[in-house]
Amino acid sequence: MLTGMLADRRMMALVDRECAVVVPENEMKQYVVAAHADTLDFVPGDALADWATRHGKKLRGHTLLWNRAEYIPRWLSERYADAPAAALATWLTGYVGATAAHFGARIHSWDVVNETVDPATGALRDTMFNRKLGFDALRLAFTAARERAPHAQHVYNDYMSWDAGSAKHRAGVLKLLERFRAEAVPVDALGIQSHIGAEGDMTTMSEREREWRGFVDLVVAMGYRLLITEFDVSDHSVGGTVSTRDAQVAAVGKAYLDMMLSYRQLEHLLCWGLVDRYSWLQNFSPRPDQQPLRPLPYDAGYGAKPLRAAIAEALKGAPRRASQS
């Protein structure tokens, strides 16, 4: 959700009807909450949290540390670039603790750290936090979140995927998850963003699926729970008519969800938006032919698309979870 959507009554009616769990796209990120030095702004996050409370929705928190240089507030980078590491550690612990405590029991699951692994190398990204504090940045964030929001699930969230080009990313995430366990860092689950592409024919699917299962099997063997945190299926390079594109998006989405739902450790399925018009991908990765993308279950006119039916079918066909009544 985005605060901009709150004024769109049709949109919010759709969210109300379709979702049991909601997540703010940006409103709890450092670049919003800590946009200005020495003050925390919880107003946008509270607006969405209030909506969730009023409508009886569970709320996920996203994210206490989006560990990429481009998303760290500029004033923070400027102030701490040459400061002693201990000063930055104090800021981070204070920030994470205050934010986790502010939202408190309203949030049942937090993406504590987001995208700290460099997909090109599998190492930790080159960010101010990682440069100055190394792995301790992550340890501090998870420890502070656990201390100040002990009721919540604490998640490491990233976008490693089943694509062949994602092998180093997957290996890096596995290494990180192993280290969390080895050093008893309190991490409960892996958030698998699941921004997938609809390109490629279905015959390549089984190879991708085999590689991916190898990764997920190792993650669950370490005792992590799984979440799909940001599902969408991009038709960036899919040709043909709108209905061909929609069918391809639905088919790939269904295959992906069937595979993911076969893991009983999977707890949540969140889409990154419901209506194509609001999808972040329209700006982030537009189609070469300039036509609007169709990556979400509802079209710009709020009509259900084949992806909506594919999600419903995948959920209906899924093995039951232990937590299901």
DSSP state letter for 297? S
Of positions 3, 5, 11, 26, contacts ligand XIL by CB under 6 A: 26
Task: Determine the residue type at 153.
Answer: Q
Report the residue number whose CB is nearest to ligand XIL: 280
Taking a C-beta distance cutoff of 8 angstroms, is the pair 51, 2 a contact? no
Widest CA span in the chain: 57
| Residue 30 engages ligand XIL in binding (rule: CB under 6 A) | no
Out of 42, 91, 280, 302, name the contact with ligand XIL by CB under 6 A. Answer: 280
Whether the bond between 93 and the residue before it is cis, its omega within 30 degrees of 0, is no
| 25 is a contact residue toward ligand XIL (CB under 6 A) | yes
Tell me, by CB under 6 A, how many residues bind ligand XIL: 6
Compute the least distance from the CB of residue 290 to ligand XIL, in Å.
Answer: 20
For the chain, the straight-line distance linking the first and the last C-alpha, in angstroms and rounded, comes to: 27
Spell out the residues 6+ positions from residue 314 whose beta carbon is closer than 8 angstroms to its own: 253, 254, 257, 258, 261
Q: Which is nearer to ligand XIL, 115 or 188 (CB)?
A: 115
d(CA 69, CA 301): 37
Looking at residue 222, the DSSP 8-state letter turns out to be T
* Cβ distance to ligand XIL smaller for residue 296 or 318: 296
**How far is it, in rounded angstroms, from Cα 318 to Cα 110?**
25
Nearer to ligand XIL, 138 or 247 (CB): 138
Name the one residue in this structure whose structure tokens are 């204070």: 94
Question: Rounded CA gap, 281 and 90, in Å?
Answer: 35
106, 181, 103, 99: which is closest to 138 by C-alpha? 181
Q: Which of residues 202-261 bind ligand XIL (CB under 6 A)?
A: 230
- Among 99, 114, 130, 248, indicate the residue that binds ligand XIL (CB under 6 A): 114
Judged by CB, which is closer to ligand XIL: 91, or 280?
280
Report the C-alpha gap between 170 and 8 in whole angstroms: 38
User: What is the closest distance, in whole angstroms, from the C-beta atom of residue 294 to ligand XIL in the complex?
Assistant: 17
Output the smallest distance, CB 49 to ligand XIL, in A. 17
Place of tokens 């490491």: 156
Count of Cβ atoms closer than 10 Å to residue 89 Cβ: 18
Here's the x/- map for ligand XIL, 56-95, by CB under 6 A: it reads as ----------------------------------------
Among 99, 130, 193, 234, binds ligand XIL (CB under 6 A): 193
CB nearer to ligand XIL: give 25 or 299. 25
Nearer to ligand XIL, 25 or 235 (CB): 25
> Interface with ligand XIL includes 31 (CB under 6 A)?
no
> Could you say which residues in the range 155-174 bind ligand XIL, by CB under 6 A?
none
Please report how the helices 306-317 and 242-261 are oriented relative to each other, as an axis angle in degrees rounded to 10.
Answer: 20
CB nearer to ligand XIL: give 30 or 193: 193
Residue 24 CB, nearest approach to ligand XIL (Å)? 9
Amino acid at 23: V
Q: How near is the Cβ of 28 to ligand XIL at its closest, in Å?
A: 10
What are the angstrom distances between the C-alpha of 223 and each of 102, 138, 154? 29, 19, 13
Q: How far is the CB of 25 from ligand XIL (least distance, A)?
A: 4
In the complex, the residues that contact ligand XIL under the rule CB under 6 A are 25-26, 114, 193, 230, 280
